[in-house]
Amino acid sequence: MGSTRSHLRLGRKEAAFPALGKGCGVYRDRQCCFPEVTADTAEVSYLPVSAPGAGQDVGRSCILVSIAGKNVMLDCGMHMGYNDDRRFPDFSYITQNGRLTDFLDCVIISHFHLDHCGALPYFSEMVGYDGPIYMTHPTKAICPILLEDYRKITVDKKGETNFFTSQMIKDCMKKVVAVHLHQTVQVDEELEIKAYYAGHVLGAAMFQIKVGCESVVYTGDYNMTPDRHLGAAWIDKCRPDLLITESTYATTIRDSKRCRERDFLKKVHETVERGGKVLIPVFALGRAQELCILLETFWERMNLKAPIYFSTGLTEKANHYYKLFITWTNQKIRKTFVQRNMFEFKHIKAFDRAFADNPGPMVVFATPGMLHAGQSLQIFRKWAGNEKNMVIMPGYCVQGTVGHKILSGQRKLEMEGRQILEVKMQVEYMSFSAHADAKGIMQLIRQAEPRNVLLVHGEAKKMEFLKQKIEQEFHVSCYMPANGETTTIFTNPSIPVDISLGLLKRETAIGLLPDVKKPKLMHGTLMMKDNSFRLVSPEQALKELGLAEHQLRFTCRVHIQDPRKEHETVLRVYNHLKGVLKDYSVQHLPDGSITVESILIQATAHSEDQGTKVLLVSWTYQDEELGSYLTSLLKKGLPQSTA
Amino acid sequence: MKLHYCLSGHPTLPCNVLKFKSTTIMLDCGLDMTSTLNFLPLPLVQSPRLSKLPGWVLKDGSTFLDKELKECSGHVFVDSVPEFCLPETELLDLSTVDVILISNYHCMMALPYITEYTGFTGTVYATEPTVQIGRLLMEELVNSIERVPKAQSASMWKNKEVQRLLPVPLKDAVEVSMWRKCYTMPEVNAALSKIQLVGYSQKIELFGAVQVTPLSSGYALGSSNWIIQSHYEKVSYVSGSSLLTTHPQPMDQASLKNSDVLILTGLTQIPTANPDGMVGEFCSNLAMTVRNGGNVLVPCYPSGVIYDLLECLYQYIDSAGLSNVPFYFISPVANSSLEFSQIFAEWLCHNKQTKVYLPEPPFPHAELIQTNKLKHYPSIHGDFSNDFKQPCVVFTGHPSLRFGDVVHFMELWGKSSLNTVIFTEPDFSYLDALAPYQPLAMKCVYCPIDTRLNFIQVSKLLKEVQPLHVVCPEQYTQPPPTQSHRTDLMIDCQPPPMSYRRAEVLTLPYKRRYEKIEIMPELADSLVPLEIKPGISLATVSAVLHTKDNKHVLQLPPKPPQPPASKKRKRVNDDVPECKALKPLLSGSIPVDQFVQTLEKHGFSDVKVEDTAKGHIVLLQEAETLIQIEEDSTHIICDNDEPLRVKLRDLVLKFLQKF
């Protein structure tokens, strides 16, 4: 019979004795570079960073995760700071030979911000991917609108070619499968994903990716405190092997929301009072709605007359989306929406380009939020020269954008055509963008209880601080891969097998009360056949294989000096054993034999020597310890003082 | 053992309890409202006709019941606040129910009675649309009963002795002592606060032992069927499902496959009517009445089929020349219902979902409201009385015609044959509903629209999903009493369905043989597999079993502690083996020749072999030892020479496999 001993390596996919403890690799794209990966990679591979000067920054999100042989791409963002090839991830790094569709099992988009979905049509239609793309319903609804808007700015206004077309956006969206919150989506037989509410923007979700008992949670951007229109992110104690969390505000512990709101209103109010104009660059969906609700109620309360405008285009549509997807907003808005729709504003009117030159105070919300193009940039150029005016940046700005430049103190900007724009207006930054702060990130880790944490979407220094804090407080490994670097995390999953109910019941019946000091051993046979694992009793294993049990029995002769009659000797032996083996069942049978559990002892007189008795001790292999112990005990003779 | 308790006798308003792997799960919480048909309507405005109805007099002339019972056109009605027939509360202790699974908003109307009066401390699971619309239905119910306070509360007629004397149907009414008045809004709120929202295909773990999952059932907004399963058993609970294309998301049939038991409730109540045909008839009757200058009354629930009817009318109004006819929707929750219908895009059919992406409201009634063709009011009082123009179409509740604004319109329009009342809701017999209004001049049209599964669809579904056993209400195992020849109007499957009736307990057939257990990685690493037959490998496992939260885990046994050195002296008696060390079973046989060779190799020079009837005896003469070898056994008989015994044992074991 085959005696090849090998360590048991159990797994789900492979046959025979496959590798256990598969790595769960996370491949993080930072700038332009995807690491090259194969499905079974379980080694750490460091890949070169091709973009010069690339640091950890809040650029675009595009992460490749390989878990138990499944490859999932998380988000497909574009970089707002670039206008060339660098704005899209270099997908050729995923796989150089072969189609993306064959390599990726699915793509997940966390929310509709372009730094998370902006490269999607390029990826699916121009590079070529036909597999499933998952996102929530609101994301599916809003994403194509923003993509089209972005395309228009890039192609129609800037005249760029080699860009995706309207038709490509449509075709791309056809590949999207919308998911419900908490719905378990079976991507294939082994891979399942589940969305959790993330706050941040309408429809934003965190995703759990699970294969067997290994799992990864990807947060996308999230917000742990409810705001004026959205609720707080929430996840259950799903104990993933790895939590990939954004860390945009890794070091910030933001002051209370109320303070920030008061501050914002004060600044707007003061500027308007002194006849200045306020520009608030926003993205059409998200923060804009929260700030509109804030200003609307303030105007109402203070009875202010200065006009508030919202730059045209998406406004009305955006509010419509909020109305139709009201179940994704916060408790308060959902509760009152029948009586009063929070997204129908009385004081906020549509903006016309001509209004920018109107005299007198006004407040204008204009897109896009980072002042890198479009209407907000146009208005900014008009108003920048007047110190009475103010621009309030309510969110994060990516490096390279005008927003980022003025926030870092630059007051002379080189515009197109070498023209220099001098910024005299006041520049204010208000952190209204709904990312989790350090406190929030810690809170989420506490909720999900991951075994490892990986920080992305943040700046290196800040991430380092947070990493230390996480490792201190939760005693889990925390990673912050550099650009294009691959992180491999080894998981050590336990192996699920089927145990026969008979065996399990037998075991649980014996030890109802678990004794910590003396753990009960259970004995069974693991049968492995066609990748199925079953734990059965040894008897059942024999029976199923059609094999008979081979009984191995031992009988030892023990000589005892005792002149008494046989039955008296037996009685002495019986009393002796009963005294010693208090925990065992020792019985004296009518036929003159003694049993200790299943071990049989019989006495006969020695054929030659009447003073010696021969004890035959007989036991099976299964009772070997006790049998062997008994013979050595009896060999020592009987105690003298036995009545 | 799995038990199934039936608490409601109404097949479309079920309330069942399933005991499954140490959890107690209530499936739906339906409230049988047909009991209200035995009561007089609650008029919003003082009705001279109703107040003048004569008291009922027994055959022997006694009049002691004439305050409680009134007679109208040969029928006897209870003059009291309407009461509902609750689910059975005595069959099992309902405080032991761990969870309640709700399948659709019609099947949760008894919830406050269960969660607030039985000591229930568990959780209720339902989808968001189910909860929101269920709340609206309850609000409407409470509102329409509370706004007409009735001084009298009749109870004498419920006395068993008295009930025997009453005419049918009061005489045969079941469990009248259990009938209860409507709950209050605080009770509704308390009940709803116990609900946890779930999404389709969400896997919900109960105590680590059972997983429950709601699946789209295609019948109403957020309506679900439920899968209740462990690793080895699967029970599907199908309640109120539809395969027709209306507004809700289509039914998920595939996930019902491989069920051990399928509990089937909530089939269509009108198996002979085709919903599409009924909608057509509804439209043409409506148009005809209005053209002749009459009014149309549509008694309905504030949500559900009304959305489909409004959509049909939206397409029909202009072509039928009804553009100038006002449509009124009157209910305390009319506005909420219309608004809520527009925000559940994720729960709608594909067509409606795509509209939201545009973004447009998924239901066209938004446009009907915008163009003033459809107007909604909380009640007939207030704005409505100013706007009211005839001829018109009024949608209002309650379909039983016993309470709500519909009572007023029945009184108002009943006398004219120009008017028509069109029944679309299938829950109440329209003749019974009309009884207290007789004699009536207005036309009555019966167009019941029930989109739930009919028997043809059921048999197709069962063929598709192939459950091992089907469990259903007894009503589904025989033809309807009024059409006893229609043997096609019953469930036909193999093996025949197990049926239940109110207050009955069934033992569900199915026995599982396996359970899931996890082998910790360290233990898995220590296992040594051996290929016994091609493709089959075995490894013996000796491990410590841990069971926590109904999950089983096998771990490496702890290393035996080193005995402390100081105890060496006392060893003799202390050395009793502590726990029975487990030895594997053996299998195989020992080839004598090879065995003898092995013995000789190990230094036994005087081996002698004798043949016996069943095998061989191997003698080691010098050691006075004999080894009996047979096909399935080996017996070593020796003197007490432990080293020798151990040596022989190991030689024998070389030839055997361990299990």
Kindly indicate the confidence band of residue B370, based on its pLDDT and cuts at 50, 70 and 90. very high
Q: What is the pLDDT of residues B215-230, one digit of tens each?
A: 999 999 999 999 999 9
The pLDDT assigned to B366 comes to 94
d(CA B266, CA B264) in angstroms, rounded, equals 7
Kindly indicate the confidence band of residue B252, based on its pLDDT and cuts at 50, 70 and 90. very high
Instruction: Give the largest Cα separation in chain A, rounded.
Output: 133
CB B245 within 8 A of CB B349: yes
Query: CB-based contact (8 Å) between B318 and chain A?
Result: no
Interface test with A, best of B221, B553, B571, B585 (most A CBs within 10 A): B585
Interface test with A, best of B333, B537, B574, B614 (most A CBs within 10 A): B537
The pLDDT assigned to A307 comes to 93
The pLDDT assigned to A47 comes to 23
The pLDDT assigned to A39 comes to 27
Contact B538 A20 (CB under 8 A): no
Return the structure tokens found at B192.
Answer: 């709803």
Q: Is the pLDDT of residue B40 over 90?
A: yes
Three-state SS string over B534-570 comes to CCEEEEEEEEEEEEECCEEEEECCCCCCCCCHHHHHH
Q: Across the interface, which of A495, A541, A551 has its CB nearest the CB of B519?
A: A495
Distances (CA, A) of B492 to B266, B468, B508: 16, 14, 19
Please give the ipTM for the structure prediction.
0.85
Q: What is the pLDDT of residues A423-437, one digit of tens each?
A: 999 999 887 766 778
Mean pLDDT (whole number) for A70-79: 87
Kindly indicate the confidence band of residue A387, based on its pLDDT and cuts at 50, 70 and 90. very high
CB A303 within 8 A of CB B320: no
Mean pLDDT (whole number) for B301-310: 95
Average pLDDT, chain A: 80
Write the burial class of residue B612 (CB in 10 Å: 0-12 exposed, 13-18 middle, 19+ buried). Answer: exposed
More confident residue, A565 or A222: A222
Mean pLDDT check: name the lowest of A84-88, B176-180, B356-360, B408-412. A84-88
Kindly indicate the confidence band of residue A35, based on its pLDDT and cuts at 50, 70 and 90. very low
Q: Across the interface, which of A180, A559, A624 has its CB nearest the CB of B200?
A: A180
Q: Across the interface, which of B517, B585, B656 has its CB nearest the CB of A538?
A: B585
Q: Is the pLDDT of residue B657 over 90?
A: no
Kindly indicate the confidence band of residue A194, based on its pLDDT and cuts at 50, 70 and 90. very high
Candidates B220, B278, B236, B254; CA nearest to B20 is B236
Highest mean pLDDT, choosing among A399-403, A540-544, A630-634, B428-432: B428-432
The pLDDT assigned to A18 comes to 25
How close is the nearest chain B Cα to the Cα of A523, in Å?
Answer: 5
Contact A8 B525 (CB under 8 A): yes
Q: Is the pLDDT of residue B411 over 80?
A: yes
Q: What is the pLDDT of residues A356-386, one digit of tens each?
A: 899 999 999 988 888 888 888 999 999 999 9
d(CA B565, CA B575) in angstroms, rounded, equals 13
Cα A8-A10-A12 angle, rounded to 5 deg: 165
The pLDDT assigned to B414 comes to 95
Query: CB-based contact (8 Å) between A539 and chain B?
Result: yes
More confident residue, A192 or B602: A192
Catalytic residue among A36, A43, A214, A246: A246
Candidates A630, A41, A499; CA nearest to B640 is A630
* Chain A residues 507-536 within an 8 A CB cutoff of chain B: 507-508, 511, 514, 518-530, 534-535
Candidates B101, B91, B127, B81; CA nearest to B25 is B101
Kindly indicate the confidence band of residue B348, based on its pLDDT and cuts at 50, 70 and 90. very high
Provide the 8-state DSSP code for B403.
S
Mean pLDDT check: name the lowest of A199-213, A477-491, B60-74, B527-541. A477-491
d(CA A71, CA A26) in angstroms, rounded, equals 10
Chain B partners within 8 Å of A184 (Cβ): 201-203, 213
Q: Tell me which chain A residue has its CA closest to the CA of residue B547.
A: A508
Mean pLDDT (whole number) for A82-108: 82
- Phi, psi (rounded to 5 degrees) for A493: -75, 150
Q: Is the pLDDT of residue A52 over 50?
A: no
Contact A499 B583 (CB under 8 A): no
The pLDDT assigned to B513 comes to 81
CB A206 within 8 A of CB A235: yes
Query: CB-based contact (8 Å) between A548 and chain B?
Result: yes
Provide the 8-state DSSP code for A58.
S
Query: CB-based contact (8 Å) between A135 and chain B?
Result: no
Question: Angle of helix B592-601 relative to helix B642-653, nearest 10 degrees?
Answer: 130
Share of chain B above pLDDT 90, in %: 62
Average pLDDT, chain B: 90
Return the structure tokens found at B184.
Answer: 């209050």
* Chain B residues 232-271 within an 8 A CB cutoff of chain A: none
Three-state SS string over A356-374 comes to HHCCCCEEEEECCCCCCCH
Mean pLDDT (whole number) for B12-30: 94
More confident residue, B236 or A81: B236
- Count other Cβ atoms within 10 Å, centred on residue A530: 7
Q: Across the interface, which of B199, B542, B586 has its CB nearest the CB of A523?
A: B542
* Chain B residues 54-83 within an 8 A CB cutoff of chain A: none
Residue type, A149: D
SS3 B34: helix
Chain B partners within 8 Å of A629 (Cβ): 575-577
Query: Is A246 a catalytic site residue?
Result: yes
Contact A527 B525 (CB under 8 A): no
Q: Is the pLDDT of residue A5 over 60?
A: no
* Chain A residues 274-333 within an 8 A CB cutoff of chain B: 317, 320-321, 323-327
Mean pLDDT (whole number) for A214-232: 88
Contact A137 B345 (CB under 8 A): yes
Interface test with A, best of B360, B514, B518, B590 (most A CBs within 10 A): B514
The pLDDT assigned to A441 comes to 92
Return the structure tokens found at B135.
Answer: 């709340």
The pLDDT assigned to A59 comes to 64
Q: What is the pLDDT of residues B138-147, one digit of tens each?
A: 999 999 999 9
Q: Is the pLDDT of residue A158 over 80?
A: no
Candidates A9, A59, A12; CA nearest to A31 is A59
Q: Tell me which chain A residue has its CA closest to the CA of residue B338.
A: A338
Query: CB-based contact (8 Å) between B536 and chain A?
Result: yes
Mean pLDDT (whole number) for A473-490: 82
Query: CB-based contact (8 Å) between B635 and chain A?
Result: yes
Q: Is the pLDDT of residue B399 over 50?
A: yes
How close is the nearest chain A Cα to the Cα of B487, in Å?
Answer: 41
Q: Is the pLDDT of residue A147 over 80?
A: yes
Kindly indicate the confidence band of residue A28, based on its pLDDT and cuts at 50, 70 and 90. very low
Q: What is the pLDDT of residues A112-130, one digit of tens each?
A: 988 889 999 999 999 999 9
Whether pTM > 0.90 for this model: the answer is no
Interface test with B, best of A554, A596, A606, A613 (most B CBs within 10 A): A554
Q: Across the interface, which of B198, B553, B588 has its CB nearest the CB of A550?
A: B588
Chain A partners within 8 Å of B537 (Cβ): 16-17, 527-529
- Count other Cβ atoms within 10 Å, centred on residue B311: 18
The pLDDT assigned to B535 comes to 84
Query: CB-based contact (8 Å) between A468 and chain B?
Result: no
Contact B545 A508 (CB under 8 A): yes
Q: Is the pLDDT of residue B15 over 90?
A: yes
Q: Tell me which chain B residue has its CA closest to the CA of residue A529.
A: B536
Q: Is the pLDDT of residue B1 over 70?
A: no
More confident residue, B137 or A568: B137
Write the burial class of residue A376 (CB in 10 Å: 0-12 exposed, 13-18 middle, 19+ buried). Answer: buried
Q: What is the pLDDT of residues A313-327, one digit of tens each?
A: 666 778 888 889 999
Q: Is the pLDDT of residue B43 over 80?
A: yes
Mean pLDDT (whole number) for B3-7: 90
